[in-house]
Amino acid sequence: MKRSISLFVFILLIQNGQSQNKTVASTKPATIAGKQISITLTPLKNCWVYLGSYYGKGKALVDSAHLDDKSMGVFKGNKMVGGVYFIVSPKMTMLFELLMDNKQQFSIVGDTLQREKVLITGSQENDLFKEYLKFSNEKGRIMQEQEAAYHQSKIKADSTKYKNLIMQGDKELQLYRDNLIKKNPTSLLAMLFNTMKRPTVPSVPMVKGKPDSLYPYRFVKDHFWDDVVFNDDRLLRTPFFESKLDDYFKYYVSPEPDSLIDEVKFILLSARTGKEIFPYLLTKFTNKYISPEFMGQDKVFLYLFENFYAKGDTVLLNAASKKTIIERAYSLMANQLGLPAAPLDLTDTTGKNISLYGIKAPFTVVAFWDPNCGHCKEEIPRLDSMYRAKWKALGVAIYAVNIYENENPAWKKFITEKNLLNWHHVFQTKAARTAEEKAGQPSYKQLYDVFKTPTLYLLDKDKRIIAKQLSIQQFDDLIATKMKPKS
């Protein structure tokens, strides 16, 4: 039986040092200056122990304390952002976790050989956490036994019984969390419960006598972020916020660029006043869409550039990152899907100028390549095989650009040896490139984002970009789809 992971499972994973994720800090003003957390950790003596926290998908050490010959030490200094923290041994092993709220004066007494018996005093948050762990661990033990019995049962009635018991256990855990939130709405633990919960779909309504099959999807998407405050920096210092964010974009957001932009815009504007979480999320989305998984999603990166970086958020970047983002944005602006391709007037093997827009064809493949590039030596003949087998008969044209004018002998030799007939083979002369540079005009490499070879584009009859950076087979599939008669 499949079911979602309950919080008790998550807590057990944390205790075993197996959980992996997530994210940032608190925007609430400090009411008490600094932190002072005393720690006694037997049998360790005369050594350093460390305080760590989750941060995004990683973990970070944020402070250290020296234990004396009585196993005692103190973490002290500036206040930490609230979230889920943990104690780390001298051997860099995560020992146990604790919650860090706004009150950061408390004590920890523990034993490395009995990690489950750690005692934290002076912290109401950790008192709540301890009581919840006691309840959830016991409930989890019972439910694990019930789930094992469910998988072993061979009688349908028994399977149904154990299934119902497991579902009831889940409800009791959720009820405990809901009651804690009601009684302690401003607590860190309430914030953690609100962040990690996933919507429970109610009964599916009937539409014209049939169940509304899309209702569960719509309901979960509409309520996925209920009670989550995106500008709360503490989200970053939890091990589940970012995985929840990734799941949302993977399962509930269309990969179509405009849909992604709507979601990214909502989240970033909601997080705008978060000191840590806003730059973290902006960086996360930038890294994801600057070189996206799917064609066309670089439009999301351009949205980020135009609406955040170009309006001042480059102050978040170091000089190298700022340069990379600006250059990348300008390299993508002219080659978005649906835009007219930048004009190309280049020289062929005979010295004659060939204009891209002078070619009349239902489709044009523009290929930027280098005759000495190993990958090109494999892909260009494959491109020709597809051209000979199918595309030539369909009237498809190939405008192939040698990107290095000083490699013309190798270029012409390759064309001859591979018998690349009926293509438009062109290059840019040194004189043309120099004139372009003097006029301050962007190069075709920038206009077509040519930073690797081969780089391929597919244009329609009006020379609008309909695909880029796909495989040859994907280009062929797209051409076939486009040429099908409309019903």
Q: What is the pLDDT of residue 155?
A: 83
Q: What is the pLDDT of residue 153?
A: 84
Query: Tell me: the pLDDT tens digits for 212-271?
Result: 999 999 999 999 999 999 999 999 999 999 999 999 999 999 999 999 999 999 999 999
User: How far, in Å, CA of 13 to CA of 355, rounded?
Assistant: 62
Model confidence at 151, pLDDT cuts 50, 70, 90, reads confident
Query: Tell me: the pLDDT tens digits for 463-473?
Result: 999 999 999 99
Query: Tell me: the pLDDT tens digits for 412-421?
Result: 999 999 999 9
User: How far, in Å, CA of 81 to CA of 104, rounded?
Assistant: 10
Nearest CA to 443 out of 404, 479, 481, 474 is that of: 404
| Model confidence, pTM | 0.84
User: How far, in Å, CA of 484 to CA of 487, rounded?
Assistant: 9
**Average pLDDT of the chain?**
90
Query: Tell me: the pLDDT tens digits for 391-414?
Result: 999 999 999 999 998 889 999 999
Nearest CA to 82 out of 63, 102, 56 is that of: 102
Residue 189 has pLDDT above 60, yes or no: yes
Mean predicted confidence (pLDDT) in 471-483: 95
User: How far, in Å, CA of 98 to CA of 87, rounded?
Assistant: 8
User: How far, in Å, CA of 435 to CA of 437, rounded?
Assistant: 5
Residue 20 has pLDDT above 60, yes or no: no
Residue 19 has pLDDT above 50, yes or no: no
Q: How many other C-beta atoms lie within 10 A of the C-beta of residue 30?
A: 12
Query: Tell me: the pLDDT tens digits for 277-317?
Result: 999 999 999 999 999 999 999 999 999 999 999 998 877 78
Query: Tell me: the pLDDT tens digits for 129-144?
Result: 999 999 999 998 999 8
Q: Which DSSP string corresponds to 168-225?
A: HHHHHHHHHHHHHHHHSTTSHHHHHHHHH--PPP-PPPEETTEE-TTHHHHHHHHHTT
Residue 228 CB burial class (10 angstroms; 0-12, 13-18, ≥19): middle
Domains defined for the chain, CATH in brackets: 1-252 (no CATH), 268-333 (no CATH), 345-483 (3.40.30.10)
Residue 25 has pLDDT above 70, yes or no: no
Residue 27 has pLDDT above 50, yes or no: no
Query: Tell me: the pLDDT tens digits for 204-223?
Result: 998 888 999 999 999 999 99
Model confidence at 487, pLDDT cuts 50, 70, 90, reads low
Residue 23 has pLDDT above 80, yes or no: no
Q: What are the structure tokens assigned to 434, written together?
A: 């120099």
Q: What is the pLDDT of residue 64?
A: 97
